[in-house]
A and B are shown apart, each in its own frame.
Chain A
Amino acid sequence: DGGITQSPKYLFRKEGQNVTLSCEQNLNHDAMYWYRQDPGQGLRLIYYSQIVNDFQKGDIAEGYSVSREKKESFPLTVTSAQKNPTAFYLCASSISDRGNSPLHFGNGTRLTVT
């Protein structure tokens, strides 16, 4: 079955450590996205990639980094510079980067930093 896989489902880290969240898709989609959800807020865009080896900052990119070395993979690193890293992170993909392509989401990773 085609889909998006995020791992792990839950992640715990100590403050000051970098942590990488995995996102893999086998839908052959060109575009991939990372969103963050906090209580009482809508999904906020962190980074997106329209094609391999290219990515752009979203609305809240500070303290995060990404790579897109393969079409199917778009890992997100939460660095120690991110001031409030505890959140629920959703990865998504779409056939193209055009805004009329529906997003397909993974099941999310809940990150807790103490």
Chain B
Amino acid sequence: ILNVEQSPQSLHVQEGDSTNFTCSFPSSNFYALHWYRWETAKSPEALFVMTLNGDEKKKGRISATLNTKEGYSYLYIKGSQPEDSATYLCAFSPGGGADGLTFGKGTHLIIQP
């Protein structure tokens, strides 16, 4: 079973502040890295899928970077808003990419007004 680690487990951030958190994954046999946002009482929603080392993707105030050689990805949120409160999941897909995703435990983000 593959090991995907996310840190921190939870995070409290003041509204307006920027924040970031980490996803670590196996650096060998990499195929793709996914980020999802999971708000309470909703279903997880895909944010990014990244496949190339050095990839950087952006969606509004949220961006992500990928380092496949060292096996980590960062998710950044600029100017946090209350609606950013959610659990952020990363998921790793190994080489070939046809065996389903392995998820981390998530980072639970709470934005305090």
* Complex contact A42–B100 (CB within 8 A): no
Do A99 and B46 have beta carbons less than 8 Å apart?
no
Q: Mark A93-106, 1 if CB is under 8 A from B, else 0.
A: 00001111111111
CA distance A4 to B44 in the complex (A): 12
Q: Which of B27-57 contact A (CB under 8 A)?
A: 31-32, 34, 36, 42-46, 49, 51
Contact of A42 among B31, B49, B97, B104 (CB under 8 A): B104
A75 at the interface (CB under 8 A from B): no
Task: Check B93 against A99 for contact (C-beta < 8 Å).
Answer: yes
In the complex, the answer to whether B46 meets A104 with C-beta atoms within 8 Å is yes
Number of interface residues of A (CB under 8 A): 27
Q: Chain A at the B interface: mostly helix, strand, loop or mixed?
A: loop
Please, how many residues of chain B have a CB less than 8 angstroms from a CB on the other chain? 28
CB distance from B73 to the nearest CB of A (A): 14
Contact A100 B51 (CB under 8 A): yes
Q: Which chain A residues in 40-64 approach chain B with CB under 8 Å?
A: 40-45, 48, 50, 56, 58-59
22 contacts between A and B (CB under 8 A): A42-B104, A42-B105, A43-B89, A43-B103, A45-B102, A50-B98, A98-B98, A99-B94, A99-B96, A99-B97, A100-B31, A100-B32, A100-B93, A102-B34, A102-B49, A103-B46, A103-B91, A104-B46, A105-B44, A105-B45, A106-B43, A108-B43
Listed from nearest, the 9 A-B pairs whose CB atoms lie closest are A99-B97, A99-B93, A102-B46, A105-B43, A42-B103, A43-B103, A99-B32, A100-B32, A42-B105
